[in-house]
Amino acid sequence: MKSHHHPTSQVISYELEASIFSWEIAEGKTVEAWGFNNQLPGPLLRARKGDTLEVKVKNNLPEPTMIHWHGIRLPASMDGTGEVQKPIEPGEEFTYRFVVPDAGTFWYHSHANETFQMERGMYGGLIVEEGTALVTDGEKVFLLDDMKLTAENEFTKPGWFIPRIMERHDGREGDTLLINGKENPTISIAGGQAERWRFINASSARYIQLYLGGKEFKIIGTDGGLLEHPQTVTQVLLTPGERIEIIAGPFTEGESFLIETLPYNRMTFLKAKRQTFATIQVGAQKPSVAYIPQILRKIEPLAEKEAPVSRKLKLSVGPSLKHGMDFLVNGDVHTSDQPVKVGELQVWEVANSSLMDHPFHLHGFFFQVIEENGEAPDYIAWKDTYNLPPRSRIKIAWMPDDRPGEWMYHCHILEHHAAGMMAHFEVV
């Protein structure tokens, strides 16, 4: 990338070509992937806050596709859903063009036939860099995923009634864990270094209880960029669609540990297990220049915990003769919601009355969770995806800035989204 004397006037151009190709996830283990530029994940896109991103997408798949820029506050017409654009037909192309107004860890993914296309690899990372006091010794971006494969490394088919119902209920989870398209690779970091690691959960349904062999790490950012203060933890939950940025290290020369997911019980038929994403190998010691400030940035709360609720959403699961079960928003599948007005603060209560977890995702806008089950949160963060455990309730605040058009929210377990847990609404 060129130098950035006038970052807000930069236009960064990329080309993504969607096609089917073979991809080696481990030595001798090849899958028939669907993805971008013959790689899985697709190319990592990078820009600076304020740049214009221009991405030409060519569709060489046998079916239509569209690209959604998860987390980016872009114009409605660029959101990549069927409500705002015609799908890109096989052999055709479409150029997405928008400013990236916020720094953070984002991603792009197919928003057409998602349960099929995303499962096969139609996703990639998008990093928007900030100007900040934070200095680290390096950076890594990790896209986490899983695949459900047969012994012949083919994607399993939906199958007969019971497995189909189970997949609809649990979402599609497979035992083949991938980190940047590979099964348990060895990743190195020099001893003594503190690096910025950005994690993106690109899986269909897997809840990742991220764990680095018991080592402490600092969470510095979530979906919408940096937090106010670093949070020191040994594990963190990353649900489908969510992002987390951490400071990893310093580690000691010669040591080795795993990036794992600990079991997270979300009431699925298939039992949650502890599983490995990657092996970290710590190399020769190097001097560090890292500087992690105690205040990463200021985040103004959008509303008080007591702010009056302007809208109530209820996520639920109900019986269905045809499908076994339906996934509902306010009692309906694939529904539409009332419009919201530009400049009018939204305070929504989102209640999950079902007995399973749902990661709630709002397109195009960030929200703050201002209350969870009656309690104020520990800290304020900008989010676009947030998990609701069974029988839980959150209050979110968000501001519809001046980007009128059709938007949506949905559960980011792709099978739940497809089974109806979504709603459109208009910003007017």
Q: Does 206 bind ligand C2O (CB under 6 A)?
A: no
Q: Are 108 and 70 contacting, i.e. CB atoms less than 8 angstroms apart?
A: yes
361 binds ligand C2O (CB under 6 A): yes
Q: Any contact of residue 416 with Cu ion (CB under 5 A)?
A: yes
Q: Are 60 and 37 in contact (CB under 8 A)?
A: no
Q: Which residues lie below 8 Å from residue 256, measured CB to CB, with a gap of 6+?
A: 279, 280, 281, 282
Residue 358's binding partner among Cu ion, ligand C2O, none (Cβ under 5 to 8 angstroms by kind) is Cu ion
> Of residues 128, 226, 303, 413, which one binds Cu ion by CB under 5 A?
413
Q: CA-CA distance, 31 to 310, in Å (whole number)?
A: 47
Does residue number 334 form part of the binding site for ligand C2O (CB under 6 A)?
no
> Is position 383 an interface residue for ligand C2O (rule: CB under 6 A)?
no
Largest CA-CA distance found in the chain, in angstroms, rounded:
64
Query: Between 68 and 417, whose beta carbon lies closer to Cu ion?
Result: 417
How many of the other CB atoms lie within 10 Å of CB of 297? Answer: 17
Question: What track of x and - describes contact with Cu ion for positions 338 through 377 (by CB under 5 A)?
Answer: --------------------x-------------------
Q: Find the distance separating the first CA and the last CA of the chain, reported in whole Å.
A: 37
Pairing assessment for the beta strands 422-427 and 335-336 based on DSSP bridges: parallel
In the bound complex, what is the minimum distance in angstroms from residue 410's beta carbon to ligand C2O? 6
- Residues 105-144 contacting ligand C2O, CB under 6 A: 109, 111
Asked whether position 73 contacts ligand C2O by CB under 6 A, the answer is no
What is the C-alpha separation between 230 and 228, in angstroms, rounded? 7
Q: CA 289, CA 412: separation in Å to the nearest integer?
A: 38
Residue type for position 135 = V
Is residue 49 within the footprint of ligand C2O (CB under 6 A)?
Answer: no
Residues 399-418 that bind ligand C2O (CB under 6 A): 410, 412
Q: Which does 410 bind (CB under 5 to 8 A by kind): ligand C2O, Cu ion, none?
A: ligand C2O
Q: Which is nearer to ligand C2O, 192 or 364 (CB)?
A: 364
Output the smallest distance, CB 7 to ligand C2O, in A.
26
Query: By C-beta, is 200 or 317 nearer to ligand C2O?
Result: 200
Contacting residues for 392 by C-beta, under 8 A, at least 6 apart: 351, 352, 372, 373
| Helix or strand run (H / E) with residue 258 | strand 256-262
Under the rule (CB under 6 A), what is the footprint of ligand C2O? 68, 70, 109, 111, 241, 361, 363, 410, 412
